[in-house]
Structure 1
């Protein structure tokens, strides 16, 4: 059985092994001992009593209970940009016209922005390639929505997700090569590694004025707002939940930023409370996301569920054990897929 839960100190070895598999451009979980250790410690601290909600960087892991092994990770940053500036490019349009010459021209421009300051961010989504089957990716990503739904007071009313931008088979970002390199004079990987520590150097070195994209190489213009091939499934999943691209991109690789009002995310809006009733037999049928209502001991799983009346949910004993609940306890539930209803 697969269960999502908050990270623990003892998950270090598995988390470090996952970080070694992420590859170039995956800023939030790099093959770096210092960064992985900081990520783990921040995740553990976020679940501690007394931590200010807007300072929390929640980190959850997907555990294969049959092996006792962590095979995936996902995170929620409660409020970005409060301790250091949070930069994006806002993609806009500049209109230039001359009546005398009968010329009217629209030009795409990029403007440095801190517009997402304070927003809640979905981050650090990575699943071991060996487990990219059986809808494990759906469980890992969407488990965060039930946590958001249960503890809405801890988060901003708008949720953000930055998608990894396009890079080629060699890990080269055309956008970085066409723009960033001219101001930083360092490789994309190096800049990306630096960015997890601080983004102050961005403000120090990037141009303060709008950038006309028609001055960039065609290879750079073509990838503005595009998603890395490995991240495309994650983007589709978020879009099915109500997230939309609103014209903001990552300053390094031009990956799109998706956003949605928290209460309008499908899995948040449609989730509801049910009372668990355990059954001995194995259930089949439509899959649901099911979570307990605990904070420190949060658990989320994907399993069949059968309604009995309006508020009684029949679940298997195995599912109950994975969620650390007993018969009669309250669960939050929602259909796994966006086109399904209770």
Structure 2
């Protein structure tokens, strides 16, 4: 396989813009807006060049490239720490209990509470795979490469990590959750709010969103039925997150109601189980080697691909070419 994950470059603007147009809306981290995408690429370039060895407001943007054709076929993102530039808002599903002595009954009502609980967490997101490349495990390569990047730069990330999954979007590109909840307070459609958030951030939520709890029972059924439900195209991503140790802990996206998955960073499987070794041998064939995801390089030089790893730090020659490494270089790997 000729695919490799690499850091994004300014010249990737057209490729990432073409992918953004295919997302179908509700994909805040990948808006089909050239100016916003250019700003993301500039921010990523500065983040890769930063010498900060602690969690901060960095964006690491990576691309999936077919090295045989030079085509970009996917992208993913990692945020060093959310909630620094502007507050990171979620709805937390809670319970409001009331008891009546006269009736002899206790009532439990589910409520949505605007929350900043996840401020300071790191985030993985922005994963998109071109429809023409949705085979051969490339989605898994994109997703898990982010954890190997974190493992190789652990000091730059927080102790908690989150992933927001896109919620249910209707055929017209609207959000039943937005229409039933936040849309009533903002005077704009879901598409307008989502686009504004992607370009300007969500401070406008703090300015306009009511701070009191929203009782779920008072919402229309169209909104209630999609709370915490991922978009159909995100179900596989949710399973991958669960396999890594992420869990749904009653946080949802304030725009579309999609689930926010969280985990302790050091307990994410692909971070916890990553092995870090020096390459001792590059072999033409490793028939007895383990199928693996293999990463190397720091920051802008980071690269990751599928390959084979043998005993004592040996790797196959095809992998060495994709990663542009030789004996004496260090790799981080996890079993495929």
TM-score with structure 2 setting the length: 0.95
Q: Deviations over 1:213-269 (max 9, x none)?
A: 111001111111000011111111011000001111110111111111111000111
CA contact (8 A) 1:293 1:332 kept: no
1:199 to 194, 199, 202: 202
Structure-2 residue corresponding to 1:172: 174
Residue of structure 2 aligned with 1:138, choices 126, 140, 143: 140
Match of 1:70 among 66, 69, 72: 72
- Residue 258 of structure 1 is matched in structure 2 by 261
Deviation at 1:84, TM superposition (A): 0.8
Secondary structure in structure 2 of the residue aligned to 1:72: strand
Alpha-carbon distance in 2 for matches of 1:280, 1:18: 35
Alpha-carbon contact 2:286-2:308 (below 8 Å) kept: no
CA distance in structure 2 between the partners assigned to 1:329 and 1:85 by the alignment? 40
Alignment partner of 1:10: what SS?
helix
Q: Which residue of structure 1 lines up, in the alignment, with residue 14 of structure 2?
A: 13
- Deviation of 1:10 after TM superposition, in Å, equals 1.7
Residue-by-residue CA offset, 1:9-65 (whole Å, 9 max, x unaligned)? 221221111111112101111111111111111111111144675021110111111
* 1:282, distance to aligned residue in structure 2 (A): 6.5
Q: Confirm or deny: 8 A CA contact 2:284 2:318 kept in the other structure.
A: no
Q: Number of residue pairs matched?
A: 332
In structure 2, runs of 5+ residues without a counterpart are none
Aligned partner of 1:275 in structure 2 is 278
Residue number in structure 2 paired with 1:39: 40
Aligned twin of 2:237 = 234
2-side partners of 1:71 and 1:141: how far apart? 14
- Three-state SS of the structure 1 residue aligned to 2:65 is strand
3-state SS of the aligned residue for 1:21? Answer: coil
* TM-score (norm. length: structure 1): 0.93
- What secondary structure is seen at the aligned counterpart in 2 of 1:203? helix
CA distance in 1, matches of 2:141, 2:14: 22
Paired position in structure 1 for 2:294: 290
Residue 321 of structure 1 pairs with residue 321 of structure 2: yes
Unaligned segments of structure 1, at least 5 residues: 337-342
Q: Give 4+ residue runs of structure 1 displaced > 4 Å after superposition.
A: 282-286
Structure 2 match to 1:218: 221
CA RMSD of aligned residues (A): 1.5
Task: Please identify, of 128-137 and 178-187, the stretch whose mean Cα deviation from structure 2 is larger.
Answer: 178-187
Aligned to 1:340: none
**Bigger shift: residues 99-108 or 52-61:** 52-61
- Please say if residues 23 and 30 of structure 1, whose CA atoms lie closer than 8 Å, have aligned partners that are also in contact: no
SS of 2:145's partner is helix
Secondary structure of the residue aligned to 2:299 is coil
* Shift of residue 168, structure 1, vs aligned partner: 2.1
TM-superposition CA deviations, 1:193-215 (whole Å, max 9, x none): 11121212112221110111111
Shift of residue 293 of structure 1? Answer: 4.0
